[in-house]
Amino acid sequence: MAAAPQYDIVIANGTLVDPAAGRNGRFDIAITGDRIAAVEPDLSAATAGQRIDAAGQLVIPGMIDTHAHVYQHVTGRFGLNPDLVGVRSGVTTLVDQGGPSCMTMGGFRHFVAGPADSRVLCFISCYLVGGLEGHLYPDLYGPGGVNAEHTIRVAQENADIVRGIKAHAEIGGQSRWGLDVIRIGKTISRETGQPLYIHLGQLWPTADSAPIPDADELIRELVPIMEPGDILAHPFTRHPGGFVSASGEIHPILLEAVHQRGLLVDVGHGSHFSFDAARRVLDAGILPFTLGADMHGYNVQVSEPGADGSDLRAANPFFGVAPFNLTIAMSELLHLGVPLEKVVAMVTANPAKLLRMEAEIGSLQPGMAADISVLNLEEGRFQLSDNSGVTVTADRLVRPLFCLRGGVRFDADSPLIPDAIAA
């Protein structure tokens, strides 16, 4: 009788980049069940039920997207299918930013997070309406639309999937009710022991009855409310109220907040990415901690109809935003000069720390979850475009091939993966 395989799967000959483990080079990875069993320079002598040759490919811990919108159907045209954004795009863990609220968390758990093959977590919205229709209706998001007590209770009852609190600090809301919602959000954050995640960059138009707000003043009011470990999103936004002031400089208070007060930064690519703003922020010495894609039904071209039969492309208010996903965002950072290992850390080790799950995900070490992303790092000339219409020619492109989520393989066949455009 033949001996039973020593491992279920061995991924062999790949170039492993695992910042948390300090590995960067050729390694073989063995999986038994849903766990990493071994990581060695050579496991060619080991028996395995399946051996995957990853020669010439980049093998990294399962990618974690810290800014997803996957509350499909409930948030209307805004929410995408979690597995099209997740495992079928080579991403093993998704963090929905503000889709579920205290009123809709049950639906999120049972109809999105539970059935998905991807690991789906969330930052609960501090607003009762959550992410309905992508925040198109600003009057729903004032202080009267927040119930701190209820949100605290629901976040605590769902602590296995709720990993933070989501709110918006932008000049359209500020013109209506100041930063009162942010202060309430900070109360929820303190009471739950969860970080507060803040959207930056104008989202809503200025209220008709209000004078034109000072976007720079918003930043000066916001930062003192926040605490170490809280997250500022969209540092590379092209919209007013971001990291870049009206004079084109990085706000000094933001430099202090990141370098001295311990605030974290998430790219939150979405409809906010500008090469010019990114260069200014990076040149100022601010390196984002995490790299969320911020894909949603208004900024990607979705080939399938909406739940109501409508054509999502025709309804897209951001139509014309250059196609992107998490690996395109990685490619853009590489083009901007961020080293590969730091880019990988932004989608693996760093988000695992942010989620307080670094013992489970974000690295490939024996005993940890068998969540693995396998990528091609292609060389050539590739056209990348930002949301302001600027196009650059990059010499490297990251393309997802497949992933293992809990030891189960999923090919990267999502229609949301953009086609590479040769320059």
Tell me: do 45 and 108 sit in the same domain.
no
Domain shared by 44 and 168, yes or no: no
Coil vs helix vs strand at 242: coil
- The per-residue pLDDT for 2 is 56
Check whether residue 44 and residue 107 sit in a common domain.
no
User: SS3 helix, strand, coil % of the chain, rounded to 5?
Assistant: 25, 25, 45
Contact criterion met (CB below 8 Å) for 340 and 24? no
State pLDDT tens for residues 311-350. Answer: 444 344 444 467 899 999 999 999 999 999 999 999 999 9
Claim to verify: residue 56 and residue 201 sit in the same structural domain = no
Answer yes or no: is 288 within a domain: yes
Question: What pLDDT shows up at residue 3?
Answer: 63
Q: What are phi and psi of 303, to 5 degrees?
A: -80, -15
Tell me: pLDDT of 241 over 80: yes
The three-state secondary structure class of 391 is: strand
Residues 348 and 366 in one domain: no
Q: What is the pLDDT of residue 215?
A: 82
- For residues 239 and 89, the model is more confident at 89
DSSP-derived 3-state class of residue 265: strand
CA distance 64 to 377: 18
Q: Are residues 190 and 151 in the same domain?
A: yes
Candidates 317, 343, 349; CA nearest to 328 is 343
Helix (H, G, I), strand (E, B) or coil at 395: strand
343 and 228 co-located in one domain: yes
Which tokens hold the place of 145?
């639309």
Q: Three-state SS for 182?
A: helix
Residue with tokens 């202090």: 256
Nearest to 201 by CA among 273, 253, 254, 133: 273
Q: What is the DSSP letter of 159?
A: T
Mean pLDDT, the chain, integer: 92
DSSP tally for the chain: helices H, then strands E:
11, 15
The 10s digit of each residue's pLDDT in 29-84 is: 999 999 999 999 999 999 999 999 999 999 999 999 999 999 999 988 899 999 99
Does 385 fall in a domain?
Answer: no
Burial letters 155-185, b for 16+ CB under 10 A, else e? beebeebbbbbbbbbbbbbbbbbebebbebb
Q: Tell which wins on pLDDT, 195 or 388.
A: 195
Model confidence at 310, pLDDT cuts 50, 70, 90, reads: very low
pLDDT digits (tens, 9 = 90+) for 91-144: 999 999 999 999 999 999 999 999 999 999 999 999 999 998 878 888 899 999
What are the residues whose beta carbons fall under 8 Å from the beta carbon of 352, sequence distance 6 or more? 20, 61, 64, 358, 360, 361, 362, 363
Q: Does residue 166 contact residue 189 with C-beta atoms inside 8 Å? A: no
34 is a domain residue: yes
* Better-predicted residue by pLDDT, 3 or 307: 3
Domain membership of residue 168 (yes or no) is: yes
Q: What is the pLDDT of residues 179-219, one digit of tens each?
A: 999 999 999 999 999 999 999 988 888 888 777 778 888 89
Same domain, yes or no: 87 and 188: yes
Residues 205 and 223 in one domain: yes
Contact 168, 197 (CB under 8 A): no
- Residue 343 resides in a domain: yes
Decide: helix, strand or coil at residue 177: helix
Helices assigned H by DSSP within 126-242: 148-157, 171-177, 180-192, 215-222
Check which CATH number belongs to the domain holding 400 and give it: 2.30.40.10
417: in domain:
no
The enclosing domain of 284 has a CATH number of 3.20.20.140
Same domain, 42 and 86: no
Containing 174, the helix (H) or strand (E) segment is helix 171-177
- If asked whether residues 326 and 405 sit together in one domain, one would say no
Expressed as residue numbers, the domain containing 42 is 7-60+361-379+394-411
Domain count, the chain: 2
The alpha carbon dihedral of 127, 129, 134, 137 has a sign of negative
Predicted TM-score of the model (pTM): 0.94
Are residues 341 and 401 located together in one domain of the fold?
A: no
Q: Which carries the bigger pLDDT value, residue 222 or residue 321? A: 222
Contact, 352 vs 358, CB < 8 A?
yes
Is 141 a domain residue? Answer: yes
pLDDT in tens, 267-292: 999 988 999 999 999 999 999 999 99
Plot region of 22 (φ>0 → left; ψ -120 to 50 → alpha; else → beta)? left
Dihedral sign of CA atoms 163, 361, 297, 71 in order: negative
Mean pLDDT over residues 361-382, rounded?
Answer: 97
For helices 180-192 and 148-157, angle between their N-to-C axes, nearest 10 degrees: 30
**pLDDT for the residue 309:** 45
222 assigned to some structural domain = yes
Give residue 223's pLDDT band: very low, low, confident or very high (50, 70, 90): very high
Token pair for 423: 């320059």
